[in-house]
Structure 1
Amino acid sequence: MKYIRTPKPKREKSQIPFRLNFLFFIVFLLFAALVGQLAYLQILNGSRFVAEVDRTDKLVVTGNVPRGLIFDSQGRPLVTNKANSAITYTKSVGVTGAQMRKLADKLATYISEPTDGLQPRDYADYYLADDDYAKEITTHLSKADQALATTKPTDFYTAQVDYVKAHLPADKAKVAQAAAIFKIMNGATQLSTVYIKSENVSETEVATVGENLTSMPGINLGTDWQRNYPNGDSMTSIIGRVSTEKAGLPADGLQTYLANGYARNDRVGTSYLEKEYENVLKGAKSQTQVEVGNNNQIVQQIQEFKGQQGANLNLTIDSAYQAKVEAILKSTFKQALAAGNATYSDGAYAVAMDPKTGKILALAGENQNIKTHELTDDALGAINRVFVMGSAVKGATVLGALQDGVISVNNNTLSDVPIYLPGTPVKKSVYPVGTFSSLDAPMALSVSSNIYMMRLAMAEGHAKYSPSNYLSLDNDIFTKMRKYFSEFGLGQATGIDLPGEASSFPGPTKSSDGKLAVGSALDLSYGNYDPYTLIQMAQYISTIANNGYRMQPYLVQSISQMLSDGSKGPILSTTQPKVLAKVGSTQSQIDLVKQGMWQVVHGTNGWTTATPLNTLNPGVAGKTGTAQTFTRVDPDDSTSKQIETTTLSFVGFAPAKDPKIAIAVVVPNLQNDPEGYNLTIAKQMFSDYYAMNNIKADSSYSAHQTSING
């Protein structure tokens, strides 16, 4: 019998697709990789990573040091540092506003903090540092403002501040001191140190804060340095000022300062010598290595470099001589004011300079407030204010003409007949027409002939002239004369080591109808057109005194280091005299002008202009100046009445045979035909210099010696 095998039932195919199986496989691989990574982190490298978590960050924090001092040429201190007790705050990493407010509240119970200057915004920041208060304020904001908390936190905070400012508590004065302290703390950057209080810190405050330092993290006792001026305000307009810690870096140079490693609250020189020599005076900041733990708290502080006090400036000015120059300026100006000659005058200014080196021996100025007649120190007016100086520039006019060849050392006599131009008053000298028929160069300087100088300009400009007819000159006459003047520094920045020096303010060369201003060209020749600074006048007369070398004036003789015990250290650098240019004049040409300047003081003609100086022994040489100028009754109102005034000036050098000092003086905008104020100042400046520098009298000297070499 044949058996039939029952067929084996077929197994159903898996319903899981291949793609899902592949996905499971990928997940398995990823899981295996994760397990492997965990094993790597925990088993193989666990201890290393734990150490990494627990490690501290090391940062370098800098601290301020005292600025360098400033001394006069005799070693007398002009600027020192006064040490004040101070309470400081160093802001930790990650410190919160709430923590700072709590600290401010506590510190306010120990010290009295000035609150002047607090603004509503400052109170708002203080109040909002309390988290509970901030939450309460948020409930008063609109839904739109509340929504900014997560999307625009800065705008949200602004909304909170605006609300608080509009609803400041009536008793806000009770928290004013804490708010003032919080403002300082809040403005500090991480790990920076700021002064909470650095002025008028009492012994009680120091003791109380010191006893509680451990409960006030970041608070410490320190020392603040402030500039001190042993001579009072004398010379402060030359020395300049330093910004306060509160004011910090000047806004106009903020980015440059920050790029050079300054902090925003650093003190810096803001004017004149303090600013010009900032890199020297600032010193090198201390460096402290700060270790910050993983909880953002300072673990350890190690001072790596205690810092180096700024280097000292040793000036060329003898403060005792400077004081005498200031005194004669002030007394002479008060005399002019009492006589009714200085009602609308700007003041009086003087510069003394060593003509052979460029050292500034004195730089002084007295400025008058025309409305109140109050006098203030304005030494910098000698470098940043310009005046029409008058005949004092005639030495440059004569030397320019000698260079140009229109006169020579042996042939320099010209007619002294006035210049008659149509439609304008006769152009003449101060003495009556016909006093001289002709003059040579030394005599023209002696009696200050305007006519002689105008005829030099006419010769240089190839003038076509006949009396009472129009005058024609070459179109380059202004360029030519100003080029000669500039050789002596007139109209040029002198390069003095002070910021803010003015340079050139030349008058127009064309008249209102567009034609060459020939009359103004003639005025330029005798100093009654272009204005100059007094330091330019001092450089100009020094160039003549030293036989043709235009020297760069300077105030800092040397830079020295201060030793740790407070004594003077080694000289780091010394300023070397710098010749800016040699004029194109020959020695014989310069000698001719020097002879004329000698005759200005020692001439016997009745029109000689500076004979009051001929009693000085050794003898001096120089040139007076009288310019017809204009000023306004109210200088602040451009529409106020203009009045005609007179500016008196003087330049000179002494001893004339071997110059050791050159001076320039100006007393601008005087009234009522003033005379002699410039010479009073000049004579006293020479006399004081002789006495203070042991300049011996010349036994063969005569007040009416005809020759500078006689």
Structure 2
Amino acid sequence: MRRILDIIKKRTGSQAKSTIPFRLNLLFFIVFVLFAMLVAQLAYLQIVYGGKFEAEVDRTDKTVMTGSVPRGMIYDSKGRLLVGNSTHNAITYTKSGSVSSSDIYTIVNRLTKYITVEPSNLTSRDKADYILAAPNKSKQVIKQMPKSYRVDSNGDALSSNKVYANEVKYVEKQGIHLNDKDTQRASLFKTMSSAYSLSTVFLKDKNLSAKEIAQVSEHLTELPGVSIGSNWERDYPQGKSIASIIGGVSTEQQGIPDDELNTMLASGYSRNDRVGTSYLEKSYESILSGTKSQKQVQIGSNNQIKKSTTLYKGQKGGNLNLTIDSKFQKKVQAALEEQYSAAQAAGITQYSDGAYVVAMNPKTGAILAMAGIRNNPQTGKTSEDALGVINRTFVMGSAVKGATVLGAMMDGVISPSNNTQADNPIYLPGTPVKKSVYPAGTFSSLSAIQALQFSSNIYMMNLALKEAHASYVPNKSISMNDDIFDKLRGYFNQFGLGVKTGIDISGETTGIEGATHNSDGKLKTGSALDLSYGNYDAYTLIEMAQYISTIANGGYRLKPYVVQSIQKTKDDGTKGALTSVTKPSVLNKVGVTEDELNVVKKGMYAAVHGSGYWTTATRLKDLSPAVAAKTGTAQSFYYNPDNPSSDPPETITTSLVSFGPYEDPNIAMAIVFPNLTSESGSYPQLLAKQIYTDYYKMTGQK
């Protein structure tokens, strides 16, 4: 029996021993499988989603901040600085992601211990915002407010936005009275609060003393987000005689203009970036603005900036080199002011808009100078207005007759060898006689050259009659082809009259066309005749300059430009390599022959150097080298903006187009003195003579 029990014990003991290792092995196997699954899952996440998770971490923990760079310079044709940047120290503030109003309130109150700022224009809401940002102030106001300011009619709590709006309303009702220091603090609070997250704003960038800089620098640790930086503003070392064509730059507060907001934001701009708002500054914004600096900032768990690393230091804006010589520009402006002052002294500027002049190189289209005076007839005050050359229109009178003659030649109604016409006044029923300025019968007939020399209106009207296939009988209505306006304007357009010139300055307007038909649908035949000698449609002065340049250079309508080249800026701020150079751009070739052009050139030469009492531009005959010119006089009217319903007084607009030297022109000029009360004085000719004298002397031409 004992033997049997021993056998059983041996067997059961053996089974027990063998059972324990099996269970342990099973447990170890299960643990191994779980670990393998975990490793596999980690590997799967790392391989498949690792990049995504890493990007998410970078996105939430790291942000790239951009910074502005100095704007590019603008130089004249001789390398003189026209527009630069004056840099000065500034106190800046970079807003972190989670800063609260109370945090900003604390910073502001600490900062105003060290600096003094000019208070900005504050609304009552701005002041209330500052007051409510004080520690525990909002809670105190909520307790004091009427119940209706906190809950609605059902007793439900109002939203936090509505409650805050009621807090502002309550504070305003109680009355807001800030002393000078608190007004400064409220101004800073407004600037800092309105900043976008991680954007930098200027708290003080003018009249910043060394003491203020030192004190702020010593206490930066208690002023989170505040730092010492620099800011710039445009300055004009050569004066502002062409500041109007250069244009303006927005302030940080103005930022991007509303009408370009979406486009510029999509191009990488920030809302408060300073950008060109007009003319050259706007047209060449992408060049002048440069490329922003980039910093990668690491944001901590409290959304405060912990670390900043410069990724790209930015590139200062490119420089513009203009076609304008600033010394010549000043002389042109001074000569214009002298002649306009003479007109004022003569008492004929009562209704005058001002006066304008532009000179360009007819071989290239390069603008050599452009100047303007804007006069306010109500106040008599004048201001510089070079932009009036491209954005104001005037009826120019006989100065356009060169285009009329050449248009008639293109139309085939006259030719270089057959262009003599009778010079008899035109009589239409119900209208005053249409004739030239000289007495009827002064000339029995005129050639095209003589018609330009003596400025015959009759000659030009006869050309229009022929182009319109009209049969003229004195004191009878004229029947014309209905396309006469289109025909005359089509020829004018080829020279640049009535179309945009394409000048590289934003804001160019185009000429104004008069009506072709009257109220009952009949063709305005009398107005078609007026159009032929320049007394109907209006043109800009830059159009007139392009027109006379086209005649001077042999029939090529060139695109005017003021930017000769663009240059990079080196790290030390000096000019670097050229990135582009403007080349002459031919917009169209007028369909005239050299012989046809020579008829008009000789006519304009005769207008200066010809003999006879009625020769029109003789005040220029003493110039050497010789020039050619065409004068213009047009009837105009002054409309009083303060009393538009009153009968407008009749005025005189005088103009002049010219080019020189006659044999090989390198300067073409257009001038206008609008709305004078008398055509006496020949101010455009006297102005042109002074400008040519200065130009020839400066360029060494004899």
Which residue in 2 is equivalent to 1:594? 601
1:95 to 95, 99, 103: 99
Q: AA paired with 1:661? A: I
Q: AA paired with 1:135? A: K
Query: Are 1:225 and 2:232 an aligned pair?
Result: yes
What displacement does 1:247 show?
Answer: 1.9
Take 1:587 and 1:266, find their aligned partners in 2: how far apart are those partners?
53
Q: AA paired with 1:100? A: I
Q: Report if aligned partners of 1:87, 1:197 keep a CA contact under 8 Å in 2.
A: yes
Which residue in 1 is equivalent to 2:111? 107
What displacement does 1:176 show?
Answer: 1.1
What displacement does 1:144 show?
Answer: 4.5
Which residue in 2 is equivalent to 1:248? 255
Take 2:132 and 2:654, find their aligned partners in 1: how far apart are those partners?
65
Query: Are 1:368 and 2:372 an aligned pair?
Result: no
Given the superposition, is the C-alpha separation of residues 177 and 40 from structure 1 closer, same or farther in structure 2, using an over 3 Å criterion? farther
What displacement does 1:550 show?
Answer: 0.4
Take 2:260 and 2:307, find their aligned partners in 1: how far apart are those partners?
35
User: CA RMSD, aligned part only?
Assistant: 2.1
What displacement does 1:169 show?
Answer: 3.5
Which residue in 2 is equivalent to 1:334? 341
2:70 to 46, 66, 72: 66
Which residue in 1 is equivalent to 2:466? 459
Aligned ranges 1:537-616 → 2 under 5 Å: 537-616=544-623
Q: Report if aligned partners of 2:94, 2:198 keep a CA contact under 8 Å in 1.
A: yes
Which residue in 2 is equivalent to 1:187? 194
Q: AA paired with 1:692? A: M
Q: Report if aligned partners of 1:653, 1:659 keep a CA contact under 8 Å in 2.
A: yes
Which residue in 2 is equivalent to 1:652? 658
Take 2:123 and 2:78, find their aligned partners in 1: how far apart are those partners?
48
What displacement does 1:142 show?
Answer: 4.2
Percent of residue pairs identical: 54
What displacement does 1:131 show?
Answer: 4.5
Q: AA paired with 1:112? A: T
Which residue in 2 is equivalent to 1:681? 687
Given the superposition, is the C-alpha separation of residues 492 and 267 from structure 1 closer, same or farther in structure 2, using an over 3 Å criterion? same
What displacement does 1:374 show?
Answer: 1.2
Query: Are 1:282 and 2:308 an aligned pair?
Result: no
Given the superposition, is the C-alpha separation of residues 349 and 44 from structure 1 closer, same or farther in structure 2, using an over 3 Å criterion? closer
Is the partner of 2:114 in helix, strand or coil? coil
Q: Report if aligned partners of 1:54, 1:294 keep a CA contact under 8 Å in 2.
A: no
Is the partner of 1:147 in helix, strand or coil? coil
What displacement does 1:560 show?
Answer: 0.4
Which residue in 1 is equivalent to 2:4? none
What displacement does 1:674 show?
Answer: 2.1
Aligned ranges 1:688-707 → 2 under 5 Å: 688-696=694-702
What displacement does 1:109 show?
Answer: 1.1
Instruction: Return the TM-score normalized by structure 1.
Output: 0.89
Q: AA paired with 2:667? A: I
Query: Are 1:350 and 2:357 an aligned pair?
Result: yes
Aligned ranges 1:450-489 → 2 under 5 Å: 450-489=457-496
2:273 to 244, 258, 266: 266
Cα-to-partner distance string for 1:398-452 (whole Å, 9 max, x where unaligned): 0000000000111000010110111111100011111100001000000000000
Query: Are 1:57 and 2:64 an aligned pair?
Result: no
What displacement does 1:234 show?
Answer: 1.5
What displacement does 1:551 show?
Answer: 0.3
Q: Report if aligned partners of 1:316, 1:557 keep a CA contact under 8 Å in 2.
A: yes
Q: Report if aligned partners of 2:654, 2:679 keep a CA contact under 8 Å in 1.
A: no
Is the partner of 2:621 in helix, strand or coil? helix
Q: AA paired with 1:502? A: T
Q: Report if aligned partners of 1:646, 1:674 keep a CA contact under 8 Å in 2.
A: no
Q: Report if aligned partners of 1:80, 1:229 keep a CA contact under 8 Å in 2.
A: yes
Q: AA paired with 1:628? A: Q
Q: Report if aligned partners of 2:124, 2:176 keep a CA contact under 8 Å in 1.
A: no
What displacement does 1:174 show?
Answer: 4.1
Which residue in 1 is equivalent to 2:400? 393
1:120 to 116, 119, 124: 124
Q: Report if aligned partners of 2:127, 2:176 keep a CA contact under 8 Å in 1.
A: no
Cα-to-partner distance string for 1:540-559 (whole Å, 9 max, x where unaligned): 00000001100000010000
What displacement does 1:675 show?
Answer: 3.3
Is the partner of 1:156 in helix, strand or coil? helix
Q: Where does the alignment leave 5 or more consecutive residues of structure 2 unmatched?
A: 1-33
Cα-to-partner distance string for 1:626-646 (whole Å, 9 max, x where unaligned): 1111113x3332123411111
Is the partner of 1:102 in helix, strand or coil? helix
Q: AA paired with 1:644? A: E
Q: Report if aligned partners of 1:599, 1:621 keep a CA contact under 8 Å in 2.
A: yes
Q: AA paired with 1:486? A: N
Cα-to-partner distance string for 1:80-138 (whole Å, 9 max, x where unaligned): 11011100011112111111110011001111111131221111111122351111222
Q: Report if aligned partners of 1:655, 1:661 keep a CA contact under 8 Å in 2.
A: yes
Aligned ranges 1:661-680 → 2 under 5 Å: 661-680=667-686
Take 1:163 and 1:281, find their aligned partners in 2: how far apart are those partners?
48
Given the superposition, is the C-alpha separation of residues 520 and 54 from structure 1 closer, same or farther in structure 2, using an over 3 Å criterion? closer
Take 1:555 and 1:92, find their aligned partners in 2: how far apart are those partners?
44
Which residue in 1 is equivalent to 2:5? none
Given the superposition, is the C-alpha separation of residues 694 and 44 from structure 1 closer, same or farther in structure 2, using an over 3 Å criterion? closer
Take 2:335 and 2:370, find their aligned partners in 1: how far apart are those partners?
13
Is the partner of 2:359 in helix, strand or coil? strand
Cα-to-partner distance string for 1:656-685 (whole Å, 9 max, x where unaligned): 110100000000011134231110111111
| Structure 1 ranges of 4+ moved more than 6 A | 51-56
Take 2:259 and 2:573, find their aligned partners in 1: how far apart are those partners?
34
Range 621-630 or range 444-453, more displaced: 621-630
Q: Report if aligned partners of 2:249, 2:274 keep a CA contact under 8 Å in 1.
A: yes
What displacement does 1:252 show?
Answer: 2.1
Range 542-551 or range 262-271, more displaced: 262-271
Q: Report if aligned partners of 2:62, 2:297 keep a CA contact under 8 Å in 1.
A: yes
Is the partner of 1:196 in helix, strand or coil? strand
Q: AA paired with 1:534? A: L
1:640 to 632, 638, 646: 646
Take 2:690 and 2:57, find their aligned partners in 1: how far apart are those partners?
77
Range 619-628 or range 231-240, more displaced: 231-240
Take 2:66 and 2:601, find their aligned partners in 1: how far apart are those partners?
58
What displacement does 1:500 show?
Answer: 1.1
Q: Report if aligned partners of 2:343, 2:681 keep a CA contact under 8 Å in 1.
A: no
Which residue in 2 is equivalent to 1:704? none
What displacement does 1:513 show?
Answer: 3.1
Cα-to-partner distance string for 1:306-358 (whole Å, 9 max, x where unaligned): 11110001000001111111111111111111111111111110000000111
Take 1:116 and 1:295, find their aligned partners in 2: how far apart are those partners?
31
Q: AA paired with 1:635? A: P
Given the superposition, is the C-alpha separation of residues 54 and 116 from structure 1 closer, same or farther in structure 2, using an over 3 Å criterion? closer
Aligned ranges 1:203-242 → 2 under 5 Å: 203-242=210-249
1:402 to 409, 419, 425: 409
Query: Are 1:431 and 2:438 an aligned pair?
Result: yes
